[in-house]
Amino acid sequence: MKTGFTRFGRFIRMAKQAAAPTVMACMLSAAAAGTAQAAQAEDVRKQGWEALPEDKKEAFREGIKQIPDEVVELHRLEGARVVFVDGLLCPNGGDGDPCVKGLYWHDDKKIELAISSNWSNSEISTAAAHEFGHFLYFQTYIFWTEEEKAQLAAEYNYWKQYSYDCTDIEETFAVLYSMYRGSGEQYLSDACKAMLGGAE
Ligand SMILES: [Zn+2]
């Protein structure tokens, strides 16, 4: 559940892209107007979907409903895919980087999800929300206020004490987003929820 490993170089290049802001502006205003609705699996550009067992498809359908349709729609409009992989994802063949349940790739905004029969439905839901959290963070970061950035930095300093997954600012956002859109909202402060909701 970590980002691609060339993130800083990719991020700088992505921030310079001029294409996204127009789309983002209308997405953000739609979200601000409180029109967010649950996303549907049909809204996602999928790869490897047909090969999934029906119970895993259902787990993803349930998981994606946690996420506002604006976020998933933007991912699709960006031409990005969710790729379902049988078994673990091992970047670098597991050499140095541990195997993970999900990956977010900066260059094409691809989300990879490991769909093993060993994973519970809630693990699949959490991994999907986590990786969409990475997408949301990198799509919106350049629009954040200083207060929102400071809030995320404070959350990182707090949560790194309790979660091994909160290894940096970016991972912390994804971890908190999966809590916010999953079953962990009660553990988040109002300021944290405002920061996460603001990104949407
Ligand atoms: Zn991650």
- What pLDDT does residue 19 have? 38
Domain contains 186: no
* Higher-pLDDT residue of 16, 116: 116
Structure tokens belonging to residue 17: 């892209």
The pLDDT tens digits of the residues spanning 83-136 come to 999 877 887 776 777 788 899 999 999 999 998 878 888 889 999 999 999 999
- What pLDDT does residue 1 have? 45
Given a cut of 60, whether residue 28 has pLDDT beyond it is no
* Higher-pLDDT residue of 25, 143: 143
The pLDDT tens digits of the residues spanning 39-75 come to 999 889 999 999 999 999 999 999 999 999 999 999 9
**Mean pLDDT on 6-19:** 32
- What pLDDT does residue 76 have? 95
CA distance 173 to 157: 12
Report CA(112)–ligand 1 centroid distance (Å): 11
- What pLDDT does residue 13 have? 31
The pLDDT tens digits of the residues spanning 130-183 come to 999 999 999 999 999 999 999 999 999 999 999 989 999 999 999 999 999 988
Q: Could you count the other beta carbons within 10 Å of the beta carbon of residue 118? A: 9
* Higher-pLDDT residue of 59, 29: 59
- What pLDDT does residue 5 have? 36
pLDDT-based confidence at residue 190 (cuts at 50, 70, 90): very high
Count of structural domains, the chain = 1
Structure tokens belonging to residue 184: 């962990």
Alpha-carbon distances of 4 from 7, 21, 52, 152, 160, rounded to whole Å: 6, 23, 24, 20, 20
DSSP label at residue 70? H
Residue linked to tokens 């977010």? 104
Domain contains 158: no
Domain contains 182: no
- What pLDDT does residue 88 have? 79
- What pLDDT does residue 94 have? 65
Burial bucket for residue 145 (CB in 10 Å: 0-12, 13-18, 19+) = exposed
Domain contains 167: no
Around ion ligand 1, residues with a beta carbon closer than 5 Å are 1-2, 171, 174
Quick check: pTM over 0.85?
no
β-strand partners of 47: 83
Report CA(2)–ligand 1 centroid distance (Å): 3
Report CA(95)–ligand 1 centroid distance (Å): 18
Report CA(196)–ligand 1 centroid distance (Å): 15
Domain contains 55: yes
- Name residues whose C-beta falls within 8 Å of residue 111's C-beta, 6 or more positions apart in sequence: 75, 80, 81, 82, 83, 102, 103, 104, 105, 128, 131, 132, 134, 135
Report CA(19)–ligand 1 centroid distance (Å): 25
Domain contains 76: yes
Domain contains 199: no
Domain contains 149: no
Please tell me the number of Cα atoms within 13 Å of 181 on its side-chain side.
Answer: 32
Report CA(32)–ligand 1 centroid distance (Å): 26
Residue linked to tokens 């502006």? 25
- Per the structure, the complete domain to which residue 35 belongs is given by 2-144
